[in-house]
Chain A
Amino acid sequence: MEKVSAEIRDVARKLLEEDKVDLIIGFEKGSLPFRATPCSIRDPKEVERLIWNSGCENNLAVYIPKKKERIGIIAKGCDSRSLMGHVKEKQIEREKLVIIGVPCKGMVDRKKVDRVLDGREALEIEEKSEELILKGHDFEEVVPKGDLLPDSCKTCTHRNPTLFDFMIGDNLDENKEADEFEAINKFEARSSDERWEYFTREANKCIRCYACRNACPLCYCEECCVDNSQPQWFGKSIELTDTQVFHIMRAFHATGRCVDCGACVRACPMDVDLRFLNKKIEKDVRELYSFEAGVDIDQPPPLSTFRPDDQDEFIK
C-alpha cells in the first residue's frame, strides 16, 4: 500500500510540475479510522497528502462532469469504467483527462465492519495484506478482508482499470470464478409476491436523501426527474410509491451505464439494497445486447443504438 501511495504521489507531482494537469483528484487521510476522503490537489508541494489503501471507497469519477479544468484522477477498475462512460457521453474530453489507474483487490465495506462490531466502535483500524485489525476500547479483532468486501467488489470482474494513462503497480488476475448474477438469478426465481414484498421493504427504508444518486458518477443530469416540478412526475415525500418510482427511475436511467462500482450502496445511510435493481438491468443488457459498460470505448451505449433484429417477443 505504501509503495502504491508513493508511486501515486510521484506521478501526481510530475503531472502538476510539468503543467500537464490543473489539479489531481485523489484520496487523502480521512478523519475517522481507516477512512480515506476525496481531495483535490493543485500545488505539487501538497502531493504528500495523497494516500492509497482499502478505505478509498469513493468513485472519484463523480467529480468529473461539468469540470472545465484539465484533471488528473486516481482510478480503480470500476472508476476507470465510469470515466470511460463520461468520455463516451461527452462529459469530458479525453485529452483533458489523465487517468492514473490503480488495480484494486476490493475496498472495505464500512457497514460490514459495523456489522462485525455490532455496536462497538473501532477507534483504530490497521490494514495487513489480507486482513484488517479492528481495535476498540477493550477489544482487538482480526477479520479477513474477504469478509468485509462490498458485494460489488466480491463479484468484480474488472479489477484492472480499462482506461488509463498511467498504471500504478502490476496488473492483478481477474476473478474468473465470480458468478456476477447469482443473487439476481436467485431473486428472479422467487414468486412475484415475494419480489414485490422485498422491493417494498427496501423502499420503505429509504429517507430520500439522494445520497445514492449524488454518489453515482452517472447521475449528472442538470435536473433529476425527481426534482422536476413542471411537471412534477412523482411526489417528493417518503410516501412508499413515490419512493419506489424514484428507485425504479434511478436504476432505469443507469441502463447500460452502471458499472456496478457500488458507490450508491456504500453511500446509502439506511442500507437500502440498491444494487438488486441495477444488477438486474446490467444482466438484461448483457443478455439482450451483449453490452458491458466501461469496457470498450468504441461500442455505443445500448440505449442509444439498436439492431433491426433486437429481441421482440414481449411485444404483441
Chain B
Amino acid sequence: MEEKTVSKEDFFEFLAALTKDYQVFAPVKRDDCLVFAQVQPEDEICLDYHNTKRGVKEAFFPQREQLFSFNLGNGDEDITEPSFPDTKRVMFGVRPCDAKGLFLFDRVFGDKGYEDPYYLSKRANTIVIALGCSQPESTCFCIDNKGGPFATDGSDLLLVDLGDSYSVQVITEKGEELLKNEDKFRKADQNQVRLKEEIVEKARAFLKPSVNPEKAKERLDKNFDDPIWDRLHEKCLGCGICTFLCPTCHCFDILDETGGPKGERIRIWDSCMFPQFTLHASGANPRPTGKERLRQRVMHKFKYFVDNHGEIACSGCGRCIRYCPVNLDIREILGEIQGQ
C-alpha cells in the first residue's frame, strides 16, 4: 500500500487527538522502567529506548485473565461470562518484533475451530502503529527469523523515523481507515523516500546474521534424544524470565480460584521452564528436569510451531538474551545445534 509522510509535530498532535476516541498506549517511563501504558495527551512518550522490558503481549493476552466467574451457592450452576469490551485502542511505538509476536498469536488464538474470543476481541479493537528500528541493538536477531527492523507482520501502520518527520507505511485496511481524513499525512517526496532507504539500509547492515533457524530445524527434527541437551541446559536456572518477557510465548494454565461458593476460572501465563508445566495429577512428569524443559522451549519455537503453522515462533527481539540471569543465549544454543 501507499507510502506517506508526516511531520513529528503533526503526528503527535494526531496521536493526542486520538485519545478522545481511543485508548492510546505508548512507551512511557514509570518508576525508572520503560513500559507500555495508556497515555494522555500531556504524558511524555519515551522513544529513547530501543524497546520496553515487557512487550505489548499482555495488552492482548494478560498474565491473569478471568474466563468466567461462578456461584455455586444457589444450588444450581450460576456462571457469569465476562463481557468483551469494545474499547478501541491504538498501540503506538510497537517494535516490529513485538508486532510479529501478535502476528504469531493470531495463528494460535485465531486457529480455525479454536478461536479464542478473549484474545481476538482485543486484537480486533486495536490498531498497531509500529515504529521501525533505525538503531537495532546487539541482541536483536530478527533478520534471522524471517523478520527485520522494518518488517510489517502484525502491524497496521509502520513508521520510520526520518529525523523531523515519520515515513508512514500503510499496511492494513485498519491502518488506512485510521488515516482516512488526515490531510497532514502526505505523499512522501523523493528525498524522503531516499532518506528512508538509507536508514533502512544502515539498520540492516548493523544486523549481522547469527543463526540459521532452518538449518537448526533440520537437526531438531532428529536430535530429540541427543546428548547435546545434557550440556545445553546445565547453567539454566529454570526461571520464567525468558518465557514471560517473550513476545511469542503463549502457554497458559487454567485454574479456579474460589472463596466459599463463589469463584472464578482464570488463565495465567505458564512457562515451560517451570517443573509444574507438564506435571500430571498422578505425579508423573514427562519433563522432569531442566534438560527436557529447555529442549521443549527450543523445540516449540523452532520446530513444533514451524511444523504446525509454518512460522518460527521467535521474533528475535533479544529480551531472553538481555535479561537472562545467567546469560544463556538462545543464539548460542541454536548455533551449537546447527553446528552439530
Distance of A100 Cα from B62 Cα, bound (Å): 46
A266 at the A/B interface (Cβ < 8 Å)? yes
Interface code A136-150, partner B: CB below 8 Å = 1, 0 otherwise?
010000000000000
Q: Which of A35, A63, A119 contacts B49 (CB 8 A)?
A: A119
Q: Which of B54, B64, B244 contacts A237 (CB 8 A)?
A: B64
Distance of A30 Cα from B321 Cα, bound (Å): 11
Do B234 and A40 touch across chains, with their CB atoms under 8 A apart? Answer: yes
With contacts A31-B321, A118-B48, A205-B31 taken as known, whether A214 is within 8 angstroms of B237 at the C-beta atoms is yes
Contacts of B135 in A (CB 8 A): 137
Do A237 and B63 touch across chains, with their CB atoms under 8 A apart? Answer: yes
With contacts A58-B325, A215-B237 taken as known, whether A270 is within 8 angstroms of B50 at the C-beta atoms is no
Interface code B241-266, partner A: CB below 8 Å = 1, 0 otherwise?
10011000000010101000000001
With contacts A32-B322, A40-B234, A238-B64 taken as known, whether A209 is within 8 angstroms of B268 at the C-beta atoms is no
Contacts of A40 in B (CB 8 A): 234-235
Q: Which of B33, B235, B245, B328 contacts A271 (CB 8 A)?
A: B33
Nearest CB of B to A218, in Å = 13
Within 8 A of A (CB), among B287-328: 321-323, 325-328
Q: Which of B50, B235, B241 contacts A121 (CB 8 A)?
A: B50
Q: Which of A118, A201, A211, A263 contacts B241 (CB 8 A)?
A: A211
Interface code A252-267, partner B: CB below 8 Å = 1, 0 otherwise?
0000000000010011
Count, chain B residues at interface, CB 8 A: 44
Within 8 A of B (CB), among A101-125: 115, 118-119, 121, 123
Q: Which of B48, B234, B332 contacts A31 (CB 8 A)?
A: B332
B123 at the A/B interface (Cβ < 8 Å)? no
Distance of A267 Cα from B235 Cα, bound (Å): 14
Do A37 and B326 touch across chains, with their CB atoms under 8 A apart? Answer: yes
Nearest CB of A to B335, in Å = 10
Distance of A62 Cα from B290 Cα, bound (Å): 14
Distance of A213 Cα from B266 Cα, bound (Å): 24
Contacts of B175 in A (CB 8 A): none
Do A211 and B31 touch across chains, with their CB atoms under 8 A apart? Answer: no
With contacts A115-B32, A214-B239, A238-B63 taken as known, whether A31 is within 8 angstroms of B329 at the C-beta atoms is yes
Nearest CB of B to A142, in Å = 21
Distance of A163 Cα from B244 Cα, bound (Å): 37
Do B237 and A211 touch across chains, with their CB atoms under 8 A apart? Answer: yes
Count, chain A residues at interface, CB 8 A: 42
Contacts of A65 in B (CB 8 A): none
Q: Which of B255, B322, B325 contacts A236 (CB 8 A)?
A: B255
Q: Which of B34, B46, B268, B325 contacts A266 (CB 8 A)?
A: B325
Contacts of A213 in B (CB 8 A): 239
Do B49 and A62 touch across chains, with their CB atoms under 8 A apart? Answer: no
Do B32 and A269 touch across chains, with their CB atoms under 8 A apart? Answer: no
Nearest CB of A to B213, in Å = 17
Do B53 and A38 touch across chains, with their CB atoms under 8 A apart? Answer: no
From B54, which residue of chain A is reached at the shortest CB distance? Answer: A207
Interface code B32-72, partner A: CB below 8 Å = 1, 0 otherwise?
11100000000000101110011000000001100000000
A227 at the A/B interface (Cβ < 8 Å)? yes
With contacts A31-B332, A115-B32 taken as known, whether A39 is within 8 angstroms of B235 at the C-beta atoms is yes
Question: Can you list 15 contacts pairing A with B, beta carbon distance less than 8 Å?
Answer: A32-B321, A36-B327, A40-B235, A205-B31, A207-B54, A208-B240, A209-B239, A209-B244, A211-B241, A211-B325, A227-B274, A238-B63, A267-B239, A267-B241, A271-B32
List 7 additional contacts besides A205-B31, A237-B257; criterion CB under 8 Å: A31-B331, A32-B327, A36-B327, A208-B63, A211-B240, A211-B241, A235-B257
